[in-house]
Structure 1
Amino acid sequence: MKKRRIFISLVVAITILILGGCGMTSQKETLTKVQQDNVVKRIARGYNIQSIEFTAFSKDKKTGTYLLNIKINNSDSLETTIPFRNLERLSNDSDAIGLNPIDDFQTIQKSQLLENVDISRIKVIYLEE
């Protein structure tokens, strides 16, 4: 009877460990299409863009910062990484996003920020969901 309890406890513990391990490895960070559209709107407020490609999205485990890699106007010289402290910032479409390094993006920067932007003419290559 005592051996059976130990065996059942051992099976339960192993099952919990396996399921916990699977849960930790299956959580890949990703963005929804709406969140990506919000980023496009925020960038288009301050920059003249014809296309934007989302190339990668990840979370830095050391700092907890989310990193979004983009490429603008299909130009290798207009690639950058945008850091976000939390995902709630990606639900906002009303703020502007500044692109760095500033010198690289100065040629496409608008003279003043727009309040409303239409992104229907911007070609967007989304991350896989």
Structure 2
Amino acid sequence: MFNTFKDRRPALTPLEQLVMDFVWSHPNCTAESCREGLAGQRALKDSTIRTILRHLEEKGYLTHFIDGRTYVYKASATPRNVAAQAVAQLVDRFCGGSVEELIVGLVDSQVLEAKQLLRLAARIAARKEKKG
């Protein structure tokens, strides 16, 4: 069975993912800087950005501090951690919690190639040596 995360957060919507990508690449951003930064990809109203930022904070992805009267946001989760949680949710949902089933499916559908499997095996072996 998959080793589930103790601090599992609700999944990100595509729009929340877009905002998180911006926050990860622009630490300590404001709602305004986020809106302006995303304008080239998606035109969003200020109220929409503020709502998304509030939801992300409620879900545990962001924290904020106040500078004067401005909320300044920063990520409380790393991209790698969020990706790992998303994979955990996929494994639970589609593979009955079995990482082995996921990997076998990736191999059978030729998503993973032999070279990638060898690299993964080497990383797993190195981690085992490091732990024990």
Q: TM-score range by the shorter chain?
A: under 0.3
Task: Find the structure with the greater CA-based Rg.
Answer: 1
Higher helix proportion (structure 1 or 2): 2
Instruction: Tell which has more relative contact order, 1 or 2 (C-alpha 8 A, sep 6+).
Output: 1
TM-score (norm 1): 0.21
TM-score (norm 2): 0.21
Higher strand proportion (structure 1 or 2): 1
